[in-house]
Amino acid sequence: MKVIISGSTGFTGTRLIDFFRNLGWNFTPLSRKSFEMEDNEFLSRFIEGSDVVINLAGAPVIKRWTAAYKEEIYWSRVSTARKLSQAIIKAKQGPSVFISASAIGIYDSVQEHTEQVNYLSDDFLGKVCRDWEAEVLAAKDSTRAIILRTGIVLANNGGAMKTLEAPFKAGLGGTIGKGEQSMSWIHIRDLMEIYKFVLEHQEISGILNAVAPVPTTNEHFTKTFAKVLNKPASLRIPEFALKLKFGEGAQVLINGQRVLPERLLMNGFTFAFPTIEKALLNLYKLGF
């Protein structure tokens, strides 16, 4: 099995490679220099003869957003998806499946969202996700195109939890603002199994929400995490403090989306960690 993967050195990419290598898969990682190749060279070297293409490329969003960094957030996703998609379209013997990450930031922070609901966000991240997904779906007549709109990924050795662990373990955890914002998340192990599931089920294509079936709120997450660690978490982090640090990028932490994995459930996927309690207990009491 020849698997081409972008974003291979990122948080999800490194874990995905470890997960599938244990199943005997061979990966060819794409670097930034790979995407600078002429289209024909890129096509012949990577896409022709490949079985699976996985796209995880994208600059981190939890960072201070300057005008220049917003450009990087946008083009690191849209241009890489376009390069892959166009190569797949032109390939004589291209991959049977093209899987791309997206984000639940495409949804607004008001409604409850399944894949059938079209209450999309009109802010910057909403536009990034819409354009990102459009590039992927351009290849849907040439391959089985799948988009995984992924929530906050929970793991005890990276990602969002890496930032939160130190203050929470020191008893300095706290809710953001009123803590009422929704939080749709996924345990890293369930996310790996979702990639395996959609690869194995050839009838699945299009958009799926890669989130646990029981969303939480920022306040409930904070209380649960503190309880699992047996630490206090009575602080409240004012929104203005996050805006001072991250600027416009603070919206990633302040806003939230309530998202449900309707299509995964309808297709028979079983979550090992459906609730935030089970997920955090596994990560911080049992270890991943």
Mark residue 93 as left, alpha or beta (left: phi above 0; alpha: psi -120 to 50; beta: remaining). Answer: beta
Task: Report the DSSP pairing between strands 97-103 and 52-55.
Answer: parallel
Residue 172 domain-assigned (yes or no): no
Average pLDDT over residues 282-287: 79
Supply the pLDDT for residue 240: 84
Q: Write down the mean pLDDT value for the chain.
A: 94
Distance CA 150, CA 163 (A): 19
Q: Tens of pLDDT along 183-236?
A: 999 999 999 999 999 999 999 999 999 999 999 999 999 999 999 999 999 888
In which band, very low, low, confident or very high, does the pLDDT at 286 lie, cut at 50, 70 and 90? Answer: low
Both tokens of 124, joined, read 């910057």
pLDDT band (50, 70, 90) for residue 288: very low
Question: How many domains does one find in the chain?
Answer: 1
Q: Is residue 277 part of a domain?
A: no
| Residue 234 is assigned to a structural domain of this protein | no
**pLDDT at residue 100 tops 70:** yes
For the stretch 248-258, pLDDT in tens is 888 888 889 99
Q: Is residue 167 assigned to a domain?
A: no
For residues 238 and 283, the model is more confident at 283
Across residues 42-70, what is the average pLDDT?
Answer: 94
13 in a structural domain: yes
**How does residue 24 score in pLDDT terms, banded at 50, 70 and 90?**
confident
Handedness of CA 129, 53, 260, 250 (dihedral sign): negative
Secondary structure of residue 182 in the 3-state scheme: strand
Cα→Cα distances 115→61, 215, 258, 263, 265, Å: 23, 15, 12, 7, 12
Alpha helices (runs of H) in 172-234, residue ranges in sequence order = 188-200, 218-229
The pLDDT > 90 percentage for the chain reads 81
- Predicted confidence at residue 164, as pLDDT, reads 86
Please indicate, yes or no, if residue 231 is contained in any of the structural domains: no
End-to-end CA distance of the chain: give it in Å, rounded. Answer: 27
Residue 285 has a pLDDT of: 80
Q: Say if 281 falls within a structural domain.
A: no
Whole-number Cα distances in Å, 5 to 20, 73, 185, 282: 12, 19, 23, 28
Residues 44-51 have a mean pLDDT of 96
> Which of 155, 154, 137, 138 has the alpha carbon at shortest distance from 146?
137
Mean pLDDT to the nearest integer, 38-53: 96
pLDDT at 128: 97
The CATH number given to whatever domain includes residue 18 is 3.40.50.720
pLDDT at 154 over 70: yes
For the whole model, what pTM was predicted? 0.95
Residue 237 belongs to a domain: no
Higher pLDDT, 280 or 25: 280
Structural domain for 71, as ranges: 2-154+184-211+257-271
pLDDT at 12: 95
pLDDT (tens digit per residue) in 111-138 = 999 999 879 999 999 999 999 999 999 9
